[in-house]
Chains A and B, each alone.
Chain A
Amino acid sequence: MRPLTEEETRTFFEKLSKYIGENIKLLLDRPDGSYCFRLHKDRVYYVHEELMKRAASVSAPNLLSFGTCFGKFTKTQKFRLHVTALDYLAPYAKYKVWLKASAEQQFLYGHHVMKSGLGRITENTPQYQGIIVYSMADVPLGFGVAAKSTQECRHTDPMTLVVFHQADIGEYIRNEQELT
């Protein structure tokens, strides 16, 4: 376990800001204690500092997880957000999209979202913007990237893709082994 290097921090924050913009600082300055990001086995964990100190006494090979896992660095030093970060992305999300009940299940199986399944979308979403996906009951389902801007969405036919799938909570079942 170690703090992120400067370069890692940059890559990581760049990725994170695609979804929550400048709200990152809300993650770091919290009224209920100081939180920090730590790297362990290529994964980035967001954790209360007290808990981090205690977790440090667990030897590295035996430590599986602490706090919340945000994602991992790939072998090429890119950062991939995991669905486990959703709890922190959803409340701070800048751009959101709501899915109709019929499209919900499709998205949870890892499919992209088509125009026909689109319930609502934040105004002025630019193309290729990181976006959080909700059900109509306001339950966060995952996140992805807007394939079309809000303007373009209005005029496309129902079968075009509007959101590219990146992660969804269905992965808790499909992909449990890969989360750690």
Chain B
Amino acid sequence: MSDAPFIEIRNAAKSFGALEVLKDINLTVEKGQIVAIIGPSGSGKSTLLRAINELDPLTSGEVWLDGVQINKDLPFRQYEKHVNQVRQDIGMVFQHFNLFPHLTVRGNITLAPKMLKGLSDKEVNELAEEQLKRVGMLERIDYYPSQLSGGQKQRVAIARALAMKPKVMLFDEATSALDPELVEEVNLVMKQLAEEHMTMIIVTHEMGFAQDVCDRVLFMDQGYVVEEGSPDVVFRNPTQDRTKDFLKKHLQGQN
């Protein structure tokens, strides 16, 4: 198993009723790699990301992480158990943060480790402090989410995911809902994770960030991976017309 890719998606397809949103997608990600998925809205990039941790299970195809098949075909109860287990290895950060508003920052971070890893109060508190330090939010540990700005919320959400010590982090448009001036603080945290060689798959609209941070870029359109390569290739010398169109529109929009 050691030479198998860290993350592998094989022949992934997904439809909602008659609507096919993912069509025969293959993707491998090596440990420590950072992959950006870009593309117009409705291209299936979020669905692909959400298929990796079974939030939107594939219709067909396989998802593997570190030698374990995520989307195993099991009887309901076993499937639930399996999924609850493997999800602990997959951190996810959402566009709208999804912090738990009834818990403090500390409560948000300690909830899952306390319930699932059997850690003591002291251990989870240390864990929370350690992760909050990492995202520069330690001084807000006893605040409620309603008392934080969008950027702060997202940094806490990242710390919450990191506290489970995941093998991979998925970012689903983590900065899309933020005011422009708050984007940078979240980007900085993500860059820092990149420097620590966290494996990351990032769905983003920020071409600049993708270019700076990512090892590989996937351009998706209408459920297909249209183009794939290093940021230099995809952004500077795209071979597909659809990629060129998309980038042209996007870069115009930014100027």
A and B associate in one complex:
no
The interface of chain B, by Cβ under 8 A from chain A, is none
